[in-house]
Amino acid sequence: MHQLKLYGHYDSGHVYKVMLFLELANISYEYEQVDIWIDKSKRQPDFLQASRNAEVPCMMIDGEAFIQSNVILHKLASIYKLFGGESPQRLIQALDWQFWEANRLGMCLPQLRYAKRFAPDEFDPGGLSLLRSRFDQDINLLARQFGDGRLFVLDDLPSIADFSICGYLFWADEAGVELPNQVDGWLDRVSKLDGWQPPYKMMQKES
Ligand SMILES: N[C@@H](CCC(=O)N[C@@H](CS)C(=O)NCC(=O)O)C(=O)O
């Protein structure tokens, strides 16, 4: 049995990506909230020691720190041989999509949501329109992936590619974006997986 501790925050879609794996795999882990709205230097000392960028998620796996959501997903899939970790071939296919997420969708959708939800005055219109046009390209590419009738991103089974990409898409309304039907249909299938909960509920936002 592995010792797992996740440092997170309920406003983070990057944390949600990781938590989806843990909850859907029904794995027990310790969870500690880090206040990401205070100065980095004031966060818990054990967290600051583990996370060089003081960002969440940070996951301790058997005493070793992992600090990128996609790396954490990759590591979890590898050690539990689940959600893409069943074979080297599936793991590398998932990794391909995780790099796409980090480079494309993850570089516009979280920012659009941040701008709309938390900092409406911080972004100038030109910056927002660039993010928006990137998002449009990315979401259409993702929609085309389901054109052959597959149920999930890699094939008919869920994987870390799904968790990585869907993290912020359940907050499409907070980002002020519309989703194509194929993407909506896929999110609906993800939301029907055993153990799924919407982001704030899963990450224990106090009401
Ligand atoms: N590339 C990182 C991004 C993590 C990230 O941006 N975390 C944000 C929350 S979504 C954070 O901790 N921000 C707090 C801060 O920078 O002070 C990942 O994928 O894990």
Q: How far is Cα 106 from Cα 14, in angstroms, rounded to an integer?
A: 9
**Residue listed under structure tokens 């795999």:** 25
Q: How far is Cα 163 from Cα 174, in angstroms, rounded to an integer?
A: 19
Q: Which atom of ligand 1 is nearest to the CA of 110?
A: 10
Looking at CATH, the fold of the domain delimited by 4-82+197-202 is given as Glutaredoxin (3.40.30)
Binding pocket residue ranges, ligand 1, CB within 6 Å: 12, 14, 36, 40, 54-57, 68-70
Looking at CATH, the fold of the domain delimited by 88-191 is given as Glutathione S-transferase Yfyf (Class Pi); Chain A, domain 2 (1.20.1050)
Give the domain ranges of the chain.
4-82+197-202, 88-191
Q: Which atom of ligand 1 is nearest to the CA of 13?
A: 10
Give pTM, 2 decimals: 0.97
Specify the residue with its C-alpha closest to ligand 1, atom 12: 55
Q: How far is Cα 20 from Cα 190, in angstroms, rounded to an integer?
A: 10
Query: Containing H/E element for 29?
Result: none
pLDDT by 10s per residue, the chain, length 207: 999 999 999 999 999 999 999 999 999 999 999 999 999 999 999 999 999 999 999 999 999 999 999 999 999 999 999 999 999 999 999 999 999 999 999 999 999 999 999 999 999 999 999 999 999 999 999 999 999 999 999 999 999 999 999 999 999 999 999 999 999 999 999 999 999 999 999 998 765
